[in-house]
Amino acid sequence: MTRLHDPEDGLIRRHYRKKGKPQVVEDQLTGIKRAPAAAFEPRAKDKALSVNVESSLRAAGESLLWGVNLEKFYAARITVGDCEALGLRAYHDPVFETPEVSGNPHHGSIFGIVEARDTDPDAYETILNALSKASTIVAEH
């Protein structure tokens, strides 16, 4: 697991479509399309928020939508700098293939969100707000 330091490095988070449509909102203060806060919630069982690391994808010549099943998901992008600004820590955290788990060499983990959820619910909501606001939608064409 390697800590990511480049603030411009992208972190790609997938989120479910509903009825085939990306659940994208147009922020009325900025006019920019972004993902809703729900896209950045870790599951109850998670220890960190899972993402794909843009620098790893680019180094392998893959697109930002690598591994994203576009029939079910769309993808949003935040940066390492967005995470650092919130006191979160982003890591390149590859998942190695096992009989039970399919591997993902581009997997990353964002730490700090789960801790906030479990100890400071208001801070957790603030983090979700900020990540949602900072996000952009990865173009599909």
Partner 1 sequence: MSTSALTRPYFQTPVTPPSVRAPRRSVVERFRFVQFVFGGLTASVTTAAIHTGDEQPESAAVQQQKKTVGVGALTASVEASLQRIASFKEALNDTLELNSEMVHDEEGDPIDSQTVQYAILSLSPLIASLELPTPLILPLQNGGIGTEWHAFGMNIELRFRKPYDVYAVLEDVWSATPFRGRDPHLERTRVALGELGRRVFESSNPKALSDLE
Answer for which of 26, 61, 98, 102 binds partner 1 (CB under 8 A) is 26
What lies within 8 Å, CB to CB, of 139 at 6+ separation is: none
Minimum distance from residue 119 beta carbon to partner 1 (Å): 15
Task: Considering the complex, state which of residue 9 and residue 109 has its C-beta at the smaller distance from partner 1.
Answer: 109
Report residue 17: phi and psi, to 5°.
-80, 160
Task: Considering the complex, state which of residue 31 and residue 61 has its C-beta at the smaller distance from partner 1.
Answer: 31
Under 8 Å between Cβ of 51 and 11: yes
The window from 55-63, 78-86, 103-111, 118-126 that contacts partner 1 (CB under 8 A) reads: 118-126
Rounded Cα gap, residues 51 and 53, in angstroms: 6
Rounded Cα gap, residues 29 and 26, in angstroms: 9
Residues engaged in binding partner 1 (CB under 8 A): 16, 18-19, 23, 25-29, 36-38, 41-44, 72, 121-122, 125-126, 129
